């Protein structure tokens, strides 16, 4: 008998979390094997591993505790991946060398599967003087474009590309350009963006006062605070970004305010973190903890909750020691504070089971009580762990207990920490839990309402095709099993389509009171919401104690990840049907392993002769035939010129890896064709090609057109990059084949490089 409540749950497990060999052979025979692998791995550091393995397995069983995907997929394997979900990178220095050092660290972190956040407020504004080079600064937005391009080329561990968060202070001189950056539908698509809003700014907005934009000690511009606020609101009204982070509240409430300052969050916003901060995530599944669901006596099993929370805290604390880290600075930061992010999922389903309408004042009261119960249990468990294993190294009782969060804690919790210390500096966070909620049987995700009680989900298969599968909410499925398929739904069965925006805010504020980090929450608003009413949502979030606010209003730029479609006749009126779309900005769900390589493949080899290069480059592209359609499977780039060896090998491996993931791979062409060599490009067959990499991109595009994967040159791409040639001589200059400089001159009858001394004559 399967443990899975829905077919999609088993598919998610098989694709994302089931341990397999490189050839696809499953090592986890069942989901119980997965639970056993995780429990055994996290119990290894215990003095009594057998005892705790049994306890950990019991927490995982029946999807009651859901470690985040990194832990579920990586614990107990020999994979070189991090088990942490969230990273905020180091403070970006305001120097060219420092900026690109940070870029390298970002690439290394995303390579191991971590989502990252950066505060770009530390980079001087556009037009500021750069001393020593007689130039003006290009500003933080230009460097964000570089980060965005890097992220596009790196596939994070698993099947999704890396995710990034960019923040900027509301007083930075370039904040207006930051606010409007997403109005360009092709720009910064790999970033989520949020403005760091201070209390002083919010007071200036309410008072309709002036606001200075500064960097260092210089005031660059003075604006009206309300005008700037309206620009933020208008952008997120039109383009769903930027979000708003109430940064002063975050730092004021932070347990570690005495030893860290926070200026950025992870990509989804639930983890405000200091430089090199990292946090792992896990969720208590409320939907599995309701006794007598949909009955008159339905209630949350609080004793079971207390025990589960204590076990989960211990498991997550052990992850700190079990995980690998992309950077030593991240490992040191995690060890010093032992931060964890225990959250919840299935809240909306659980409220349905106990008869509460999500968004009502009664539901908010229940939510606050449940979240307080989790916070109490987590802090008491961490204090007991400190008594057993020691407090986190930077623990200092007096300032810790004086922090904003700890001042509202019950006195018995404060007394326990004063006596024993605490093992984990921060303990609670609410993540979006999109994938793990599906894995748990399609329970409602995080603290979000049920988006739809039934919908059709488009699933990307390995051959690039998409199939549709109906997905039914866990609570609805349980209700029908109890009362019949045709039973009328009670009035409190509400979903995101019927909720007022202020209902969302009420629920977020109720949960935030007992979450020491933050909450990933999207407030869905109707497309026709009045702009003033839209602004009221953000002001209400600020006034009611939220740490941030993110809304989503359907728009032409980002589209709609889930959208209501026409209801078929067989579907009850209470059950809207939704279709998951996969436009730019939406997450594509890959429900398959990488494409397997057959013994033989068809392909073509192309010769590319780059001017001034002694040796040609040969590009071989092999294709896979699937459903009667050829699609690229692998690429080999070869040249006798050893100077090209390293980058051609790297390019071969990266592009082949992208091809083998399936789906739409035309972005490879776009990225390569957009590369411009600062030394200049070359004229080939009457067309200016901006770099050798762009020429390779052109060859790949030619091949994709030839096999019918693309309709024509530039087809399927957001842009067809074209070089802009400025002040070019009528005769193209030759570059040195050794160092690439353009200082070739005739010396004793032979072309010689004045830069490096290379000469064809020896």
Does residue 412 sit within a domain? Answer: no
Average pLDDT, integer, range 338-362: 97
Mean pLDDT of 449-477: 78
pLDDT of the residue at 559? 52
Residue 639 shares a structural domain with residue 750 = no
What per-residue confidence (pLDDT) applies to 737?
54
| 95 and 227 both lie in a single domain | yes
Question: Using CB atoms within 10 A of its CB, is residue 725 exposed (0-12), middle (13-18) or buried (19+)?
Answer: exposed
Nearest Cα neighbor of 431 from 306, 203, 270, 575 is: 270
Stated pTM of the model: 0.76
Residues 614 and 741 in one domain: no
* DSSP per position, 231-247: HHHHHHHHHS--EEEEH
Residue 9 within a domain: no
The mean of the pLDDT values for the chain is: 85
Range of the domain at 610: 602-728
- Which of 21-35, 315-329, 670-684 has the lowest average pLDDT? 670-684
Active site residue 604: no
Q: What pLDDT sits at residue 160?
A: 46
Q: Is residue 368 part of a domain?
A: no
State the pLDDT at residue 744.
58
* Same domain membership, residue 742 and residue 633: no
Of the candidates 53, 270, 448, 540, the residue annotated as catalytic is: 270
pLDDT band at 460 (very low <50, low <70, confident <90, very high): low
Residues 648 and 752 in one domain: no
Q: What percent of the chain has pLDDT over 90?
A: 58
Residue range 110-137: mean pLDDT, rounded: 85
Q: How confident is the model at residue 303 (pLDDT cuts 50, 70, 90)?
A: very high
Query: Which helix (DSSP H) or strand (DSSP E) does residue 683 occupy?
Result: strand 682-684
198 or 755: whose pLDDT is higher? 198
Taking residues 95-113, what's their average pLDDT? 88
Q: Which residues of 463-477 are buried (b: 16+ CB within 10 A; e: fewer)?
A: bbebeeeebbbbbbb
Residue 682 pLDDT: 81
Residue finishing a domain among 224, 253, 282: 253
Alpha-carbon distance of 70 to 77, in angstroms, equals: 11
Going by C-alpha positions, the residue among 582, 606, 598 that lies closest to residue 630 is 598
Given a cut of 60, whether residue 733 has pLDDT beyond it is no
Residue 110: pLDDT over 50 = yes
135 pLDDT band (50/70/90 cuts)?
Answer: confident
Position 178 scores a pLDDT of 97
Looking at the DSSP assignment, which residues form a beta bridge with residue 688?
683
Longest dimension (CA), the chain: 100
- Would you state the pLDDT for residue 681? 79
SS (H, E, C) 397-419: HHHHHCCHHHHCCCHHHHHHHHH
Q: Which of 2-6, 49-53, 714-718: highest mean pLDDT?
A: 49-53
Return the ∠ at Cα 257 (arms to 245 and 228), rounded to 5°.
25
- Give the containing element (helix H, strand E) for 549: strand 548-549
* Burial grade of 727 (CB within 10 A; 0-12, 13-18, 19 or more): exposed
3-state secondary structure of 744: strand
3-state secondary structure of 713: coil
The pLDDT assigned to 596 comes to 64
Question: Last residue of a domain, which of 253, 268, 297?
Answer: 253
Domain-ending residue, one of 253, 276, 309: 253
What is the CA 371 to chain-centroid distance, rounded?
A: 25
Average pLDDT of the residues in 145-165: 69
Query: Is 755 among the domain residues?
Result: yes
Choose between 674 and 335: higher pLDDT.
Answer: 335
Q: Tell me the average pLDDT across 509-515.
A: 97
Asked whether residue 761 falls in the same domain as residue 620, the answer is no
Residue 202: Cβ within 10 Å count: 21
Instruction: Give pLDDT, residue 602.
Output: 87
- Is pLDDT at 141 greater than 80 in this prediction? yes
- Look at residue 248 in the predicted model and tell me its pLDDT: 97
Say what the pLDDT of residue 725 is. 34
- Phi, psi torsion values for 32, nearest 5 degrees: -60, -35
Integer Cα distance of 736 and 754 in angstroms: 9
Tell me the CA distances in angstroms from 392 to 321, 397, 425, 475, 568, one per residue in order: 12, 11, 7, 39, 56
The answer to the question of residue 416 being in a domain is: no
Whether 695 and 747 map to the same domain: the answer is no
Q: Which two tokens stand for residue 464?
A: 């690039």
Mean pLDDT of 397-411: 96
Spatial distance between the Cα atoms of 177 and 136, rounded to a whole number of angstroms: 17
pLDDT (0 to 100) of residue 557: 57
**Residue 375 pLDDT more than 90?**
yes
Which is more confident, 6 or 430?
430
In whole angstroms, what is the distance from residue 261 CA to residue 266 CA?
A: 15
| pLDDT higher than 90, residue 203 | yes
| CA torsion, ordered 135, 141, 142, 144, to nearest 10 deg | 140
Give the model's pLDDT for residue 726.
31
Q: Is 270 a catalytic residue?
A: yes
Beta 682-684 vs 687-689: how paired, if at all? antiparallel
Confidence of residue 469 (pLDDT cuts 50, 70, 90): confident
For 58-100, the pLDDT digits (tens) are 999 999 999 998 899 999 998 777 898 789 999 999 999 999 9
CA neighbor of 614 nearest in space, from 425, 445, 758, 431: 758
314 lies in a domain?
no
Rounded CA separation 524/348 (Å):
15
The whole-angstrom separation of Cα 475 and Cα 481 is 10
Q: Residue 36: is its pLDDT beyond 90? A: yes
Residue range 584-601: average pLDDT? Answer: 52
Report pLDDT digits (tens) over 668-686: 888 888 887 767 778 877 7
Cβ neighbours of residue 91 closer than 8 Å, sequence gap 6 or more? 119, 122, 263, 275
- In a shared domain, residues 749 and 687: no
Q: What is the pLDDT of residues 181-192, one digit of tens each?
A: 988 877 888 899
Residue 603 has what DSSP assignment?
A: E
Same domain for 697 and 760?
no
Residues 703 and 618 in one domain: yes
Tell me, what's the pLDDT at 729? Answer: 35
Q: Determine the pLDDT at residue 413.
A: 98
Q: What does the H/E/C string look like for 102-143? A: HHHHHHHHHHCCCEEEEEHHHCCCCCCEECCCCEECCCHHHH
* 690 domain-assigned: yes
The pLDDT score that the predictor gives to residue 558 is 54
Residue (of 213, 210, 133) closest to 176 by Cα position:
213
Q: Is the pLDDT of residue 716 over 80?
A: no
Domain membership flag for residue 377 = no
Q: Can you tell me the mean pLDDT for 267-275?
A: 94
630-677 pLDDT per residue, tens: 889 899 998 887 777 888 888 888 898 888 877 778 888 888 888 877
Residues contacting 115, CB < 8 A, separation 6+: 85, 86, 87, 156, 162, 163, 164, 165, 266, 267, 268
CA distance 649 to 636: 8
Q: Do 666 and 752 lie in a common domain? A: no
Residue 655 to residues 112, 457, 527, Cα–Cα distance (Å): 18, 28, 39
Catalytic residue among 85, 192, 251, 266: 266
* Helix (H), strand (E), coil (C) string for 308-328: HHHHHHHHHHHHHHHCECCCH
Across 234-249, average pLDDT? 94
pLDDT at position 692 is 87
Domains: count for the chain: 3
600: pLDDT strictly greater than 90: no
Cα of first residue to Cα of last residue in the chain, in angstroms, is: 76
Tokens 């900005």 — which residue? 585
pLDDT category of residue 594 using cuts at 50, 70 and 90: low
The tokens 């403070």 sit on which residue? 91
Q: Are residues 615 and 761 in the same domain?
A: no
- Stretch (H or E) spanning 750: strand 750-753
What pLDDT shows up at residue 461?
61
């Amino acid at each position: 008998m399967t443990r899975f409540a829905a077919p999609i749950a088993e598919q998610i497990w098989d694709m994302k979390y089931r341990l397999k060999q490189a050839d696809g052979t499953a090592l986890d025979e069942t989901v119980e094997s997965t639970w056993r692998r995780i429990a055994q791995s996290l119990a290894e550091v215990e003095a009594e591993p057998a005892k705790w393995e049994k306890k950990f397995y019991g927490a995982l069983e029946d999807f009651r505790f859901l470690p985040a995907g990194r832990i579920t997929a990586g614990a107990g394997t020999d994979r070189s991946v991090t088990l942490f979900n969230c990273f905020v990178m180091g403070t970006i220095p305001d120097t060219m060398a420092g900026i690109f050092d940070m870029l390298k660290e970002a690439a290394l972190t995303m390579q191991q599967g971590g989502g990252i956040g950066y505060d770009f407020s530390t980079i001087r504004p556009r037009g500021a003087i750069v001393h020593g080079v007689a130039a003006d600064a290009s500003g933080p937005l230009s460097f964000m474009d570089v980060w965005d391009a890097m992220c596009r080329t790196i596939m994070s561990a698993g099947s999704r590309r890396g995710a990034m968060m960019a923040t900027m202070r509301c007083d930075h001189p370039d904040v207006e350009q930051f606010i409007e950056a997403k109005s360009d539908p092709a720009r910064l698509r790999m970033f989520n963006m949020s403005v760091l809003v201070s209390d002083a700014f919010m007071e200036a907005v309410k008072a309709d006062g002036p606001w200075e934009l500064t960097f260092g000690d210089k005031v660059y511009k003075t604006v009206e605070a309300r005008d700037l606020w309206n620009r933020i609101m208008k952008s997120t009204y039109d383009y769903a970004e930027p979000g708003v982070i109430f940064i002063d509240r975050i730092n004021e409430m932070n347990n570690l305010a005495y030893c860290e300052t926070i200026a950025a969050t992870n990509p989804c916003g639930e983890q405000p973190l200091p430089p090199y901060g990292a946090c792992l995530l896990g969720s208590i599944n409320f939907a599995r903890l309701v006794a007598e669901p949909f009955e008159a006596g339905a209630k949350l099993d609080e004793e079971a909750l207390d025990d589960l929370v204590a076990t989960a805290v211990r498991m997550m604390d052990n992850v700190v020691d079990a995980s690998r880290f992309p950077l030593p600075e991240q490992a040191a930061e995690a060890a010093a504070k032992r931060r964890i992010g225990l959250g919840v999922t299935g809240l909306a389903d659980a409220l349905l089971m106990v008869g509460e309408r999500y968004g009502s004042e009664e539901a908010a009261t229940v939510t606050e009580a449940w979240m307080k119960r989790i916070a109490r249990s987590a802090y008491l468990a961490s204090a007991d762990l400190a008594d057993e294993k020691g407090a986190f190294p930077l623990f200092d009782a007096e300032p810790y207990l004086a922090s904003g969060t700890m001042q509202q804690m019950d006195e018995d919790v404060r007394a326990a920490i004063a006596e024993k210390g605490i093992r984990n500096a921060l303990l609670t966070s609410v993540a979006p839990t999109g994938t793990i909620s599906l894995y748990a049987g399609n329970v409602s995700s995080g603290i979000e309402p049920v988006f739809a009680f039934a919908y059709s989900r488009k699933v990307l298969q390995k051959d690039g095709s998409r199939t549709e599968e109906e997905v039914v909410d866990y609570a609805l499925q349980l209700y029908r099993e109890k009362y019949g398929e045709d039973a009328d739904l009670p009035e409190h069965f509400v979903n995101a389509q019927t909720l007022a925006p202020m209902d969302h805010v009420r629920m977020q504020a109720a949960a935030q009171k007992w979450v020491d980090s933050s909450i990933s929450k999207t407030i869905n608003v109707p497309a026709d919401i009045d702009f003033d009413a839209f602004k009221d949502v953000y002001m209400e979030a600020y006034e009611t104690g939220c740490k941030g606010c993110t809304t989503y209003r359907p728009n032409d730029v980002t589209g709609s990840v889930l959208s209501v479609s026409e209801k078929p006749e067989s579907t009850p009126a209470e059950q809207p049907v939704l279709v998951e779309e996969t436009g730019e900005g939406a997450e594509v769900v890959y429900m398959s392993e990488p494409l397997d390589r057959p013994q033989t493949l068809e392909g073509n080899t192309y010769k590319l002769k780059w001017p001034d290069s002694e040796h040609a480059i040969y590009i071989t592209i092999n294709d896979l035939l699937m459903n009667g359609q050829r699609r690229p499977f692998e690429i080999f780039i070869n040249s006798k010129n050893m100077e090209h060896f390293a980058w051609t090998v790297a390019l071969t491996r990266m592009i082949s890896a992208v091809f083998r993931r399936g789906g739409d791979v035309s972005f490879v062409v776009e990225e390569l064709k957009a590369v411009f060599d600062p030394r200049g490009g070359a004229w080939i067959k009457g067309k200016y090609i901006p770099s050798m990499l762009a020429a390779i991109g052109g060859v790949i595009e030619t091949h994709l057109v030839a096999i019918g994967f693309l309709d024509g040159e530039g087809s399927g791409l957001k842009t067809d990059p074209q070089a802009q040639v400025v002040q070019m001589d009528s005769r193209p200059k030759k570059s040195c084949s050794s160092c690439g400089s353009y200082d070739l001159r005739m010396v004793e009858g032979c072309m010689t490089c004045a830069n490096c001394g290379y000469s064809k004559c020896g």
